[in-house]
Amino acid sequence: MNLDAYRIRSEPFYQPVGDEIAVFEAAFAERLPVMLKGPTGCGKTRFVEHMAWRLAKPLVTVAAHEDMTASDLAGRYLLEPDGTVWHDGPLTMAVRYGAICYLDEIVEARQDTTVVIHPLTDARRILPLEKHNEIVPAHADFQLTISYNPGYQSAVKDLKESTKQRFLAIDFSYPPPAVEAAIVAREAGTDIELAGTLVAIAERSRNLQGHGLDEGASTRMLIHAGRLMRAGLPLEAAVRSSIVLPITDNHDIREALSAAIEACIP
Amino acid sequence: MNLDAYRIRSEPFYQPVGDEIAVFEAAFAERLPVMLKGPTGCGKTRFVEHMAWRLAKPLVTVAAHEDMTASDLAGRYLLEPDGTVWHDGPLTMAVRYGAICYLDEIVEARQDTTVVIHPLTDARRILPLEKHNEIVPAHADFQLTISYNPGYQSAVKDLKESTKQRFLAIDFSYPPPAVEAAIVAREAGTDIELAGTLVAIAERSRNLQGHGLDEGASTRMLIHAGRLMRAGLPLEAAVRSSIVLPITDNHDIREALSAAIEACIP
Amino acid sequence: MNLDAYRIRSEPFYQPVGDEIAVFEAAFAERLPVMLKGPTGCGKTRFVEHMAWRLAKPLVTVAAHEDMTASDLAGRYLLEPDGTVWHDGPLTMAVRYGAICYLDEIVEARQDTTVVIHPLTDARRILPLEKHNEIVPAHADFQLTISYNPGYQSAVKDLKESTKQRFLAIDFSYPPPAVEAAIVAREAGTDIELAGTLVAIAERSRNLQGHGLDEGASTRMLIHAGRLMRAGLPLEAAVRSSIVLPITDNHDIREALSAAIEACIP
Amino acid sequence: MNLDAYRIRSEPFYQPVGDEIAVFEAAFAERLPVMLKGPTGCGKTRFVEHMAWRLAKPLVTVAAHEDMTASDLAGRYLLEPDGTVWHDGPLTMAVRYGAICYLDEIVEARQDTTVVIHPLTDARRILPLEKHNEIVPAHADFQLTISYNPGYQSAVKDLKESTKQRFLAIDFSYPPPAVEAAIVAREAGTDIELAGTLVAIAERSRNLQGHGLDEGASTRMLIHAGRLMRAGLPLEAAVRSSIVLPITDNHDIREALSAAIEACIP
Amino acid sequence: MNLDAYRIRSEPFYQPVGDEIAVFEAAFAERLPVMLKGPTGCGKTRFVEHMAWRLAKPLVTVAAHEDMTASDLAGRYLLEPDGTVWHDGPLTMAVRYGAICYLDEIVEARQDTTVVIHPLTDARRILPLEKHNEIVPAHADFQLTISYNPGYQSAVKDLKESTKQRFLAIDFSYPPPAVEAAIVAREAGTDIELAGTLVAIAERSRNLQGHGLDEGASTRMLIHAGRLMRAGLPLEAAVRSSIVLPITDNHDIREALSAAIEACIP
Amino acid sequence: MNLDAYRIRSEPFYQPVGDEIAVFEAAFAERLPVMLKGPTGCGKTRFVEHMAWRLAKPLVTVAAHEDMTASDLAGRYLLEPDGTVWHDGPLTMAVRYGAICYLDEIVEARQDTTVVIHPLTDARRILPLEKHNEIVPAHADFQLTISYNPGYQSAVKDLKESTKQRFLAIDFSYPPPAVEAAIVAREAGTDIELAGTLVAIAERSRNLQGHGLDEGASTRMLIHAGRLMRAGLPLEAAVRSSIVLPITDNHDIREALSAAIEACIP
């Protein structure tokens, strides 16, 4: 089996902000596990796709959720005509055949999943499949990357210290305005001036964070607004539908947000 | 496989209130995911049926509930004479063959379902079926729409920020009186005067919202009352059975409501 | 398949109190869903049996409970010699072949059940069997009736507003004394005088409701007492065994109840 | 299938205290369901065995527990060489072939079990096996008896009012001293004088109920003590092992109990 | 099937402290169920092994845990080439073929297990296998023994009164010093003087119980220390590894314990 | 079956700090179970690998997690072409064929796992496989080792006293600075001076423990930093990515930590 279906054919656009590419390359050179930290919609998934393309390795992405168990990652027996047959899960596939495995928001998963990755993140670099009575040594190309949103963690649901200490970390945040405008213009196909207006709107919303908003507008939302305008909606309707209405249901915050937005419109 | 069984043959009646049709058309043109926000019985389901008809796309509707898991959406293995066989769930069907997929009250479902839809709602537009070791790229016609009732959400059960930010939003509310009366008259087959009386009754009940009533009478309830009258019940009995008794069990609120209703009867 | 086993052959005795028969007939004419509201043992089940007989439709009754899931209503796959085969649940049977489906105390069931009935209770009148990849359109004779005991509901277990608003409601309570005595005499085979004594006893117990008793004696309990006397027990022993001992374990309430009863005995 | 294995061949010894035999006989004549109320070890199980013998009906006994589900009572599908085959549960067996079914401490079971018995306890006398698509009408000899220990019930675990009201009730308590001594002498094979001493000890312990003891010594414990003495142990050792040590782990209560016991020894 | 694999071939060493052997022999003569009460590591398991050897009966031991269900005790269906086949659990094996069944810390198990043993602990002496539609009468040699650690019980996890009252009880505690030293010397193969030193150390630790220690050193720990010394470790290292470090993680308690120990070393 | 795949071929580097090797050798000579106590990343796993190599025994390692059940350790039935077949779990394999079984963070597992190991940790040295109706006597080479992090335990999740008392204990902590620097230099391939700088940084972070940090930097983190530098990153970037960012998300602590680190850089 090869993992060709998991290779990324064309370069995913990624605009670096600091030394994150150098850090990831050094981590990959040493095959050390990496944790990407940062808020929603600021480009963590895009970054790992870009790095997989840059390093020319297959990328196996798994979005974790609170019902995800170790078996969803490692594999399980399925009933087939000739009896039960073992099927590798996505993590095992990446370990066995050599891929970057990206576990998105691993903290959402049940804790048995974090234990499964422990022996892959120290000198052993093995994946014990207890139910299959097999110990899979990691392929030379295997590397593990996880994402983590510090704003979401709570006392009841957090990575254990013994897990966190196994990972290098790279911090992500919203890019500086000029960089963000360039990203929006490119991704939404708008001119740079309009993109700048959208970024200004986003910054207003981010200032409201902690004052009634859980999180400000993400880069993704700005791209949504740009695309709606490309499809013919006027700016106000596009921003209302892509930013104001999704971000809050509170009438007063919506008013404040709309006023702030109006002030940004040239 | 085609999705002909999911096509809507005749135009579902829908009375627009604002620019919601234009917004949805722009969203569909860009294949951006949409969230319909609003209270019970104000026409969200009817709107999405109307849009599917207008855009001439099949519509796959899934009513979420708190025991619904990702497998209910994505699919599962079933035991057949020749062993286990994979069966696509309704979401996978819509993704694979091209349909608007409407997830009604998705917030009710278990959180693993929201993670399943993430890779369908960004640039990737893929549905990874981990249990099937398959990555389904979305058909060009696939579009995702969900509904959300802000009045119902609580701290323990809400969409994650990282989910909300992926959707455009359209707000729904009860239509203005004249529009609502036209809808009631058309749907219940009553004359417009009687429909106006029923709408006046509904407005009285909506004023009691927050003063003993969780929610006022919906447009649907008014249609029920009209239909009971068409079947021969007098106005008082029809309104009592379709509005007063269902909406509350509190004796005092029932009295207040009945008095308010009586004042509306010409 | 026909539903002959679910037809009611002989008229179930039902003594109307108000316009409940007219309301149910109008609701059935329009195929609108109905909710029967009222306390334990006051005749809701008997009423729906009577209406099914009167309308000459089969009646499929399902007693809900807190472990009941949507699959118990809709159906499931069972393993047979030739692999898994789909078996319709009782609700699907009623939808497919045309019956009144009576879901007794539906609020007890898990919430996925209430979502299953939503598309059956609006203009769509369909039952989507997601696990079976089938959409069952309701038979012309299908009608849905549910029961609901307002005294039992709590914050943690109640029907959602979006469910309640889909149903017409009919209120039930204990019948007036003369009517109740006629019912007891007929059902227990006692003379009308004794039945009147039993009804007087019931009214005493109903006055204690809220003063140490959760609920007063139901019509059913009076019929039990009458039947024990028909089998040879004296009045005191019959009333003690059918009313006093079942209704409370509190010594003082039992004393109060016994004293009140003694006062009723001629 | 007959239920011969469930017939009771020889008369179980039972010493009546009041009119309980007459009440049960009247209830059985009318096939009304019966609830036996009372504390641990006072003879409820023995009474129902005696009545089954006296009425010459088979007796199917089921001890409920908190993991018991409706399927444990009603039946389930089992996988056999030719596919899944339905197996009647003990309740279904009693309903189908005619037996007294005794559900011991039914309140311990999950609530779906109580709903299963509802249609068996009113005029319908049917057992709907939803998973089997079958409605079993009760055999003419079927009768339902349940037990209930009022001292154990709590707010979170109690029979619903709508269940309680379906049952006649018979109260049980410890027998008067002379009767209890006769029972102990007979069951343990001791002389009546020693049995009287043991009953005196039990009464001392019952006086401590509520003052450090949850429950006093039961008749069963006295029989245990008598049997240990028959096997050669001295009175003190027998009483210590059968009453003092099992009933409490509190050192002071044990002292008080031992002192009270010593005072009873002639 | 015989239970030869469960017979104990050579005498397990047991040093009696009181009349516990006589009480157990009387209980076995009458086949009354027995509960062994006492703290960890004081010889309850050894006692029941000794009694099984002395009475020449097979011994089936089951260590209960909080996920243990009635099926783990009673048996279950397993899928075999010819369909499902019933497999007796360890309790059923003991009941059917005649053994002492020892349920260690039964209170840990789920409550359905305690209900399973009820009909085995009264005059019926039967084991109803509801899932197997079988009633197994107990073999003449069957006897039930359970253990119970009063120090561990809490309000949420305790035996029900109706279970406790079915058992005779025998109390266990740590043996007197001279007896304990003899046991340690024999089991660890040390001289009696060293064993006395270890017992003195244990007593110091037991005095700290309730003052920072949940439980003092058990006889088992002393034997561990003796065995480490036999393997070549010096006394301080042996006691540190077998007693101080396992018993507490609190630095101050460890200091106090170490000082107390030093004072015991001759 | 032999356990050759579980043998450790080349000596795992381990730098002893105290008498831990002698204690483990004495424990193994007596086949007494051992508990390794200590914080994350201080070398417990490496120690047991070293001991397995030194004693020339196979090593079966199981990382426990909160969904791990007794069946994951002991084994289970799997469906194969000829029906269900028993598969030994990793613990059973070690017991049956003779290996050191290392249960890492056993306290994370469900409590049924701790009961499974009880009969392996006393004189019986047996593993009862209740579901397989088999009692496996331990191979002469079997020895059980578990790890335990005292800093993690809480009231709701801790080993039972009756489990703790069955194990010898060995304490682990971070090694003295010179030893730790030697380990870092060797494992990361850096010179000893740089390693000393990294150890100095770690000590600063460990001083912050309890003042905003749950745990200080582990030896593992220092090795990560050294390896990143070997791959070309400058010291600040390497330390930031391997220590500062993973260890905390708090801005102030990060500042304090960064300042402390800067002070260490020569």
Q: Which of residues 4-23 of F touch A (CB under 8 A)?
A: 5
Helix E20-29 and helix E44-55: axis angle, to 10°?
A: 50
pLDDT band at F48 (very low <50, low <70, confident <90, very high): very high
Residues C231-248: what's their mean pLDDT?
A: 92
Residues F50-78: what's their mean pLDDT?
A: 88
Query: Does residue E210 surpass a pLDDT of 50?
Result: yes
Residues E89-110: what's their mean pLDDT?
A: 91
Cα separation of the two ends of chain D: 56
Query: How high is the mean pLDDT of chain C?
Result: 88
* Residue whose entry in the numeric block shows the structure tokens 């409590």: F111
Joined together, the tokens standing for residue F129 give 């496989």
The whole-number pLDDT of residue F36 equals: 96
Over residues E176-197, the pLDDT tens digits come to 999 999 999 999 999 999 999 9
pLDDT band at B113 (very low <50, low <70, confident <90, very high): confident
* DSSP-derived pairing of the beta strands E143-148 and E34-37: parallel
The whole-number pLDDT of residue B158 equals: 72
Any D CB within 8 A of C36 CB: no
The whole-angstrom distance between D200's CA and the closest CA on chain E is 18
Whole-angstrom Cα distance, residue E220 to residue D67? 36
Percent pLDDT > 70 in chain D is 95
pLDDT band at D25 (very low <50, low <70, confident <90, very high): very high
The whole-number pLDDT of residue E183 equals: 92
Q: Which residue has the higher pLDDT, E221 or B155?
A: E221
Any D CB within 8 A of E110 CB: yes
pLDDT band at D124 (very low <50, low <70, confident <90, very high): confident
- List CB contacts of D254: < 8 A, sequence separation 6 or more: D244, D245, D248
Query: Does residue B217 surpass a pLDDT of 70?
Result: yes
Whole-angstrom Cα distance, residue D187 to residue E138? 19
Q: Would you give the DSSP letter of residue C103?
A: E
- List CB contacts of F169: < 8 A, sequence separation 6 or more: E241, E245, E246, F34, F35, F36, F37
pLDDT band at F186 (very low <50, low <70, confident <90, very high): very high
Query: Does residue C41 surpass a pLDDT of 90?
Result: no
How far, CA to CA in Å, does C128 sit from each of B94, B199, C64, F80? 15, 32, 20, 36
- List CB contacts of C168: < 8 A, sequence separation 6 or more: B224, B228, B241, B242, B245, B246, C23, C27, C32, C33, C34, C35
Which residues of D fall within a CB distance of 8 Å from C93? 133
Domain positions in chain A are 4-171, 177-263
Residues F236-240: what's their mean pLDDT?
A: 93
Query: Does residue C212 surpass a pLDDT of 90?
Result: no
The whole-angstrom distance between E150's CA and the closest CA on chain D is 7
Residues D113-123: what's their mean pLDDT?
A: 85
Contact D224 E23 (CB under 8 A): no
Query: Does residue A28 surpass a pLDDT of 70?
Result: yes
Whole-angstrom Cα distance, residue E170 to residue E150? 12
pLDDT band at D155 (very low <50, low <70, confident <90, very high): very low
Instruction: Output the DSSP codes for D174-207.
Output: PPPHHHHHHHHHHHHT--HHHHHHHHHHHHHHHH
The whole-number pLDDT of residue E86 equals: 84
Q: D238 in helix, strand or coil?
A: helix
Query: Does residue C152 surpass a pLDDT of 60?
Result: no
Percent pLDDT > 70 in chain B is 95
Contact E5 F135 (CB under 8 A): yes
Say how many CB pairs under 8 Å bridge A and F.
122
Region of poorest pLDDT, from C33-47, D207-221, E71-85, F7-21: E71-85
Joined together, the tokens standing for residue A221 give 């939302």
Query: Does residue E248 surpass a pLDDT of 90?
Result: no
The whole-number pLDDT of residue F83 equals: 63
Query: Does residue F174 surpass a pLDDT of 50?
Result: yes
Q: Which residue has the higher pLDDT, C126 or B151?
A: C126
Residues D164-186: what's their mean pLDDT?
A: 92
The whole-number pLDDT of residue E152 equals: 57
- Asked if residue E107 lies in contact with residue E64, where contact means CB atoms within 8 angstroms, the answer is yes
Residues B192-214: what's their mean pLDDT?
A: 89
- Asked if residue E222 lies in contact with residue E212, where contact means CB atoms within 8 angstroms, the answer is no
Whole-angstrom Cα distance, residue A215 to residue A196? 20
Query: Does residue E53 surpass a pLDDT of 50?
Result: yes
Chains F and C touch each other (3 or more Cβ pairs < 8 A): no
Any D CB within 8 A of C140 CB: no
Q: Cβ of F154: how many Cβ atoms within 10 Å?
A: 7
State which CATH number among 3.40.50.1980, 3.40.190.10, 3.40.50.300, 3.30.70.270 fits the domain covering B4-171.
3.40.50.300
- Asked if residue D131 lies in contact with residue D76, where contact means CB atoms within 8 angstroms, the answer is yes
Query: How high is the mean pLDDT of chain B?
Result: 88
Distance of CA C209 to the CA centre of its chain: 21
Chains that touch A (3 or more CB pairs under 8 A): B, F
Over residues D33-87, the pLDDT tens digits come to 999 998 877 889 999 999 999 999 999 998 887 778 888 899 887 766 566 778 8
The whole-number pLDDT of residue E157 equals: 62
Contact C116 B63 (CB under 8 A): yes
Joined together, the tokens standing for residue A241 give 């539908």
Over residues B43-80, the pLDDT tens digits come to 899 999 999 999 999 999 988 877 788 888 998 877 66
Joined together, the tokens standing for residue F171 give 């304490």
The whole-number pLDDT of residue C82 equals: 61
Query: Does residue E155 surpass a pLDDT of 50?
Result: no
pLDDT band at C39 (very low <50, low <70, confident <90, very high): confident
Q: Which residue has the higher pLDDT, F230 or E256?
A: F230
Over residues E29-52, the pLDDT tens digits come to 999 999 999 887 788 999 999 999
Query: Does residue E81 surpass a pLDDT of 70?
Result: no
Of the candidates D29, D35, D77, which has its C-beta nearest C246's C-beta? D35
Q: Which residues of D131-155 are buried (b: 16+ CB within 10 A; e: fewer)?
A: bbeebbebeebbbbbbbbbeebeee
pLDDT band at B24 (very low <50, low <70, confident <90, very high): very high
Whole-angstrom Cα distance, residue C38 to residue C48? 13
- Asked if residue D150 lies in contact with residue D164, where contact means CB atoms within 8 angstroms, the answer is no
Instruction: Output the DSSP codes for D28-46.
Output: HHTT--EEEE--TTSSHHH
Query: Does residue C151 surpass a pLDDT of 70?
Result: no
Of the candidates C69, C111, C130, which has its C-beta nearest B62's C-beta? C130
Any D CB within 8 A of C221 CB: yes
The whole-number pLDDT of residue E211 equals: 78
Q: D127 in helix, strand or coil?
A: strand
pLDDT band at D151 (very low <50, low <70, confident <90, very high): low
Query: Does residue F156 surpass a pLDDT of 60?
Result: no
Q: Would you give the DSSP letter of residue F240?
A: I
Which residues of A fall within a CB distance of 8 Å from B37? 245, 249
Over residues A90-139, the pLDDT tens digits come to 999 999 999 999 998 888 787 778 778 988 998 889 998 877 878 899 99
Over residues F211-224, the pLDDT tens digits come to 778 788 999 999 99
Percent pLDDT > 90 in chain F is 51
Query: Does residue F106 surpass a pLDDT of 80?
Result: yes
Residues C110-129: what's their mean pLDDT?
A: 84
Contact C93 D133 (CB under 8 A): yes
Query: How high is the mean pLDDT of chain A?
Result: 88
- B120 closest CA partner among B163, B169, B160, B66: B163
The whole-number pLDDT of residue C155 equals: 45
Over residues F27-44, the pLDDT tens digits come to 999 999 999 998 877 889
Whole-angstrom Cα distance, residue B48 to residue B94? 15
pLDDT band at C262 (very low <50, low <70, confident <90, very high): confident
Distance of CA F54 to the CA centre of its chain: 17
Contact C65 D165 (CB under 8 A): no
Residues F200-210: what's their mean pLDDT?
A: 88
The whole-angstrom distance between E155's CA and the closest CA on chain D is 13
- Asked if residue F103 lies in contact with residue F120, where contact means CB atoms within 8 angstroms, the answer is no
- List CB contacts of B88: < 8 A, sequence separation 6 or more: B74, B75, B96, C133
Which residues of C fall within a CB distance of 8 Å from B214? 161
pLDDT band at C1 (very low <50, low <70, confident <90, very high): low
Query: Does residue C2 surpass a pLDDT of 80?
Result: no
Contact E23 D89 (CB under 8 A): no
Query: Does residue E127 surpass a pLDDT of 80?
Result: yes
Q: Which residue has the higher pLDDT, A73 or C210?
A: A73
For the four alpha carbons of A230, A231, A234 and A239, in that order, the dihedral sign comes to: negative
Query: Does residue D107 surpass a pLDDT of 90?
Result: no
In a mutational test of the C interface, the residue from B37, B222, B245, B255 whose CB has the highest number of chain C CBs within 10 Å is B245
pLDDT band at A155 (very low <50, low <70, confident <90, very high): very low
Joined together, the tokens standing for residue D206 give 């019952």
Whole-angstrom Cα distance, residue A202 to residue A215? 11
